[in-house]
Amino acid sequence: MLVPIFTLKLNHKINPRMVAIGKYDGIHPCLTAATQAGKVFIHNPHTRGQRPAAHRLSQSTQDNDISLLNINQAVSCLTAGTLGPNTTGHTLLVGSQTNLLAYDVHDNTDIFYKEVTDGANAIVLGKLGDIQSPLAIIGGNCALQGFDFEGNDQFWTVTGDNVRSLVLCDFTADGKNELLVGSDDFDIRVFREDELVTEMAENETVTSLCHMHGSRFGYALANGTVGVYDRTARYWRIKSKNHAMSIHAFDLNADGVVELITGWSNGKIDARSDRTGEVIFKDNFSSSVAGVVEGDYRMDGQIQLICTSVEGEVRGYLPASKEMKGNLMDASVEQDLIREMSQRKQNLMLELRNYEENAKALPGVSEGESKMGVIPANTQLQTALSVRRATESQRAHIDAQNLSGCVRVPIIPPKDIPVDLHIKAFVGGKTSTQFHVFEITRQLPPVQPTGKVTFSINDRPQRVVMWLNQNFLLPEGIDSPDITFTALRGGGLLKINMQPSGEITLRTDDIDLAGDLVQSLASFLAIEDLQAEADFPIYFKELRATLTEVDEFHSVHQKLTAAMADHSNYIRNMLVQAEDARLMGDWRNMKKRYIELYDLNRDLINEYKIRSNNHNALLARLKSVNQAIQRAGRLRVGKLKTQVITACRDAIKNNNINALFKIMKAGTASS
C-alpha cells in the first residue's frame, strides 16, 4: 500500500513518457521533464536562490525552483544518469528527430551535441554487454545507436521497425546487460550487443518496457495491454480500454519484490503483483499520467514513487507503515468488498430470475424453451479453419466456420505470426431472448505468403516435414518437404524444395516472408548459426533506386541548409540597417529595409518548408535502407546474421553500393 506524502503543482505541461529524475550535482535529485515548444524543465527545490548561468539554461518566470533548458526543437525522448566514467553528477540526455544532446546541468555546458540521422524515439542509459563504458542508446528509424561520454559512436545495429521503447536488463542471466527493444512491428527483440538473441511477438506496438528484477520485465502495448515476461515466458497480461502512458517497477509493500506500477491515460495509477497481475493499489489524477519515476525527493533517506500528470501535477508516495497500512488496507478492502458484493448480488438476482423463468417454462417445454434459449445439455460448438482466396469483393483470408451451420467469419491477422483466436458464440433458438455463451480459444498458425534463398542443414527431411505440418494451414498431413503454397498476403507462390544433400531452397518474391521462414525453421531445428545465399532481383532493384534517392536528398539538404544560412545572415545585416535608419530618422530607408526584410523572411519560411519536406522524404528512404539491412540479416542465423548487418553498415558508410549487394546476396563482401 502506498501513501501520498507530497503534492506539487508545476506551471508547466509535461509531455507523456518524457520524465526523469537526475542528480546533476551528485547529491540533490531533480525532476526533469520535456514540455511543449522545445523546452525541458528541471525542478530543483533543494538549492533555492541559485541562478543558472546564461548558456542554454534559464530561470523560469513562473517558478523559482524551475530552470528551463531551451532545445529549440520538439523533444522526442529524454533520460538522466551516469554517462561519464569519472563524473560525480548525472548527465541529462535529450533526443529529438535530428539530434542528441548530452548536457551537464550543474556546469551548464554541452558535453556533446550529435546529429542522429535516424532520429531518437526512445533512449536508455547504462552498460551493454562487454562494452566497458556506459552508453546513451537511442532507438529511432529502424536503427539502434549507442554513444559514449565523448560522443563516440560505440554501438549500432538495425531492427525491424521504428523503435518505441528500450530497456537494459540481464535477460540471459550471464551477468551482463542485454538490450530489449519494443517497436512498431509488434515485436520485443533482445540484443546481446549487436547480436539478436530472441524475439517475442505481441499484437500491437510495444510502447513501454521496464526492468522488474533478474530476467523479468514489464511491457505495455498501444492497445491498452500491460503484462510481465520472464525471459520469453509471459507471466500475465491484462487489457484496458485506456492507454498505458508509463510503467515502472517499485516495491510498494516492502517485501523485497517489486510491483508493476502503471500510469494510464485516464489519470488512473495502479500497482499490480509481478506474479499474478492482481491490483494491490490504485489512485487517480485529474488528467492523464505523463510519467512514473522514483527518487529520494525529500532527501530523508527514503525512496519515493513519483508520479506526474500532463497538466504538471506531481505526487510522491511512500510505502505505508505497518500501523497505517492496516487502516488504509481495511478502508480500501471494505470499499472493494462492498463493490464486489453489490455486483455479485446483481448477478445472482439476474441468474435467479432466469432460473425462475426457466422453471415456469419447463413443464410445457415449447414456447418458453424457445424464448428462454434452453438447449440440450450435450450441445457442443465445433469450429474449423479454412483458407479462402481473394475475390473482387473480398481480400484473401482465413474462415472460422461452424461445421453444423454456415456461420463464416473472415479473419485477416495483422502479421504472419501465430495468433490466439478467442471465439465467443451465443447459442439459442430463433426467438430466444436469452442465450448460452460458448467460449473457445484456437491458435491460428502463421499464414505464409510467397522468391529465392538457399541454405544447407544437417537434418532429416522428416524433421522439415514436421515443421511444415506445425506452421502451415494444410488440409491434411504431408510426408514430403517439397511443396508449393499460394500466398494469401500479397499473392504469388511459395515453393519449398529440399535436396537429399540437405540443401533447402525457398522460392518467393517476398524477402520478409523468406526471412520469417528461415528464422522459424532455424528455431524449430535448434540451429545456432546458418549461412545462406539469396537473390531477390525485384527488391534489390527497388533498394538500388532508394539508395540513389538518399544521395539526392542529402545533396539537396546540404544546399538548402547553406542557402538558409546565407539568408539568415542577410536578414541580420538588413535588420541592423533598418534599425540604424530608424534611429537616424531616415524613414524612407527604414521602410525600404523592412519591406525587404518581409520579403526575405517569406522566402526563408518557404525554404524551411521545402527543407522540412525534403527531410521527411529522406527519413522515409533511410528507414527503407535500415529495413533492407535487417531483412538481409534475417536470411541468416546467429553470428553470421550479425556479420552481415555489420558488413552492410560499413558498406553504406563507405558508399560502396556494389559491396552492399554482394553482402546481401552471398553473406560476405568477398564472395
* C-alpha cell at position 340: 464486489
Which candidate, 317, 297, 305, places its Cα nearest to that of 30? 297
Task: Give the pLDDT of residue 120.
Answer: 93
Task: Give the pLDDT of residue 421.
Answer: 67
Using alpha carbons, list the distances in angstroms from residue 170 to 81, 109, 174, 176, 231: 19, 33, 7, 6, 10
Q: Residue 193: left if φ>0, alpha if ψ -120 to 50, beta else—which one?
A: left
- Give residue limits of the domains in the chain: 6-323, 452-510, 537-666
- The number of beta carbons lying within 10 Å of the beta carbon of residue 102 is 22
Amino acid making up residue 175: G
Residue 507 CA to residue 452 CA, distance in Å, equals: 4
Phi/psi of residue 455, nearest 5 degrees: -155, 165
Burial class (CB in 10 A: 0-12, 13-18, 19+), 334: exposed
Phi/psi of residue 190, nearest 5 degrees: -115, 120
* C-alpha cell at position 90: 548525472
Mean pLDDT by 10 residues, the chain (671 residues): 85 92 92 88 76 56 77 90 85 93 90 90 93 92 92 89 93 92 92 88 92 93 94 91 94 85 94 89 92 91 92 89 51 64 81 68 49 63 64 60 60 61 71 70 51 85 88 76 75 83 89 89 90 89 89 84 82 87 89 87 85 84 88 90 88 86 82 47
* C-alpha cell at position 196: 539478436
Using alpha carbons, list the distances in angstroms from residue 195 to 526, 571, 594: 17, 51, 59
Task: Give the pLDDT of residue 265.
Answer: 94
Torsion of CA 365, 366, 369, 370, to 10 degrees: 170
Task: Give the pLDDT of residue 368.
Answer: 47
Task: Give the pLDDT of residue 77.
Answer: 94
Provide the 3-class DSSP secondary structure of residue 627: helix
Q: Which residue has the cell 524433421?
A: 463
CATH C-level class of 6-323: mainly beta
Q: Are 630 and 497 contacting, i.e. CB atoms less than 8 angstroms apart? A: no
Q: What is the DSSP string of 32-93?
A: EEEETTTEEEEE--SSTTPPPPSSSEEE-SS-TTEEEEE-SS---EEEEE--STT-SS-EEE
Amino acid making up residue 122: A
Statement: the pTM of the whole predicted model exceeds 0.85: no
